[in-house]
Amino acid sequence: MSENKSRPTQADAEAAVRTLIEWAGDDPNREGLLETPKRVAKAYRELFAGYDVDPREYLARTFDEVGGYDELVVLKDIPVVSMCEHHMLPFLGKAHVGYLPRNRVVGISKLARVVHGFARRMQIQEKLTAQVAEAIQDILQPKGVGVVIVSEHSCMTMRGVNTPGTRLTTSHLLGEVRDDSRTRQEFFELVRSGDR
């Protein structure tokens, strides 16, 4: 949003939902739908909470005492819930985030928070994947970063081509994870380990 334009109010959001209910052909004043505009606005506030945070700030606190550890750190199966910017329908899946530390590490919960912070915005999966990887690279300055996201998109499964079960896989590799074939292979093996 531009700086000189104020954010619409809760009442504005609820009015928009009432309009959509009417547009769909139903009556927003019937008993089952009376509270729906309020519930939808509240749900959207949660789904778009990423606009109210800077996910990069989660990476600010690091630990220098790593005992000489210089191998890949990989956090797998981070839940991803995001909204496709093209249809405002959710895509859900898992993120796998890894980095090759230079001389400091970050608490692993912070990696999940970075994913969640960027995911809770309207966007495409490709952009989300790149945002997570580039934030880790910029803030932690590791030797390399790898991010893989696998998700199912409601815009494909509920409408359009109606293909439930299809999954989109995106990856963004930086530094040695991209450039060194052994490190890249190790990263992808660690991401795949435990898959059935």
What's the confidence (pLDDT) of residue 19? 97
**Residue 84 falls in the annotated catalytic set:** yes
Please state the domain extents for the chain. 10-49, 62-192
- Per-position pLDDT tens, the chain of length 196: 445 578 899 999 999 999 999 999 999 999 999 999 999 999 999 999 999 999 999 999 998 877 888 899 999 999 999 999 999 999 999 999 999 998 889 999 999 999 999 999 999 999 999 999 999 999 999 999 999 999 998 888 887 788 888 899 999 999 999 999 999 999 999 999 876 5
Q: What is the pTM of this model?
A: 0.90
Yes or no: say if 69 and 110 are a contact pair by the CB < 8 Å rule. Answer: no
Q: Is 116 a catalytic residue?
A: no
Please check if 155 is assigned to a binding site: yes
Q: 139 with 114: CB under 8 angstroms?
A: no
Fold of the CATH domain 10-49: GTP Cyclohydrolase I; Chain A, domain 1 (1.10.286)
Domain spanning 62-192: CATH 3.30.1130.10: yes
Is the fold of 10-49 the same as that of 62-192? no
Active site residue 85: yes
